[in-house]
Structure 1
Amino acid sequence: MSLAAETREAVRAHPFVRDALRAGLVNHSAAATWLAERADLDGDPDAIAAALRRFREDLPPYEADARTASVSMRSGVGVVDAADDSRTGEPDDGRTDDAPLLRVGDAAVVDGGDQTAILATGDVDPAALASALDRLAAADVEVAAAGVSGDALVCVVSRRDGASAVRVVEATLEAVPGDER
């Protein structure tokens, strides 16, 4: 494989480098040195930097789109083992008020805990969730559970991080990176 092809693969293995290249925010020499050390590229950093510059020209520009969604906070939820908790089933009367906010495998987000769920409904998708998780991590907000399906996105955080998480998710939905991620 050529050094240019190896460099492209190394960038794809580190999506933040790809995003920075797309946004035009990269010091190519520094990125080349970093990739040479961490991605074990066998080549001169100047040649790697040249490959990065050429790769940048082939990438679509970094763009973000606003999403229309309503963001709310629901206190008093918890993440439980769905197999061991009776609250994870559908209510017998057809209501969905008591249904879990989120269920993945054997885990479910249900009422009755000491955490807070951030719920966004509307124009949401996996890209919005990925962006929200990145931004919550950057804000030092630990996420206990998260998921997206249909027009709903859920992130479960500690009660004390609830208000901050709402602001982060609202800001995220104002600028979700485009589909060319």
Structure 2
Amino acid sequence: MSLAKATREAVRRRPFLVAALRADVVNYTAAARFLADEITVGDDTDAVSTALSRFADELGSYGTESRDARVTMQSGLGRTEETDDALLVVGDSGFAPGSGSLTAVVVTGEVDGVAFSAVLSRLVAEDVDPIAAAVAESLVVVVERRDGANAVRFVEDALDAVPERED
């Protein structure tokens, strides 16, 4: 495998680095050192740095777009085994309205995997730990009640700056 191909594969395993390359905010030498253990190049970080620079040139530039979506909050969710009335079911876990201590942030409109990723990344960056989440016709994220109001704001912000797909 060529050094260039190994570099591209190592970068793609780290989506944050793909985004940083697209945004042109990467110190290529520092990134080469970061990837050095995975790309066996010995002491030749210059070659990896050059491969990173060339890969960045191949990637589309980083841009964002706003999604047309409605964000609402539903409090009082609890875990349930009865999935008929559940707002969200992930595997064997259902979350339904009732007397629970969880809050759901529900997004309808232009939602997809890219928006889902942006929402989860923003919540994690804000130290909000989703308990469950899914996207299909709508996007639902279940959080602790105390995080509910902030989670709504973070989700709205994330949907205003969803990364555009690569060209």
Shorter-chain TM-score bucket reads over 0.9
**What residue ranges of structure 2 are gaps of 5+ in the alignment?**
none
Contact 1:32 1:49 in 2 (8 A): yes
1:160 aligns with 2:146: yes
TM-score, scaled to structure 1: 0.87
Task: Measure the CA separation in 2 of the matches of 1:163 and 1:36.
Answer: 42
1:105 aligned partner: 91
Would you say how many aligned residue pairs link Structure 1 and Structure 2? Answer: 165
Shift of 1:65: 1.0
1:137-148 correspondence to structure 2 within 5 Å = 137-148=124-135
- List structure 1 runs of 4+ shifted beyond 3 angstroms: none
Shift of residue 40 of structure 1?
4.2
Aligned partners of 2:6 and 2:39 also within 8 Å: no
RMSD (CA atoms): 1.4
- The one-letter code of the counterpart of 1:77 is L
State the alpha-carbon separation in 1 of the partners of residues 79 and 49 from structure 2. 46
Q: CA deviation at 1:156?
A: 0.5
Q: How much identity, in percent, do the aligned residues show? A: 50
Partner of 1:94: none
Pairwise mapping of residues 1-181 of structure 1 onto structure 2 (< 5 A)? 1-37=1-37, 39-43=38-42, 44-80=44-80, 85-86=81-82, 88-89=83-84, 99-112=85-98, 113-150=100-137, 152-180=138-166
Q: TM-score, normalised by structure 2?
A: 0.94
1:116 alignment partner, SS class: strand
For 1:177 and 1:108, locate their aligned partners in 2 and report how far apart those are by CA, in whole Å: 30
Distance, in Å, in 2 between the alignment partners of 1:127 and 1:57 is 22
The whole-number CA distance in structure 2 between the counterparts of 1:127 and 1:79 is 27
Q: Give 5+ residue unaligned stretches, structure 1.
A: 90-98
Paired residue type of 2:34: W
Q: Which amino acid aligns with 1:72?
A: T
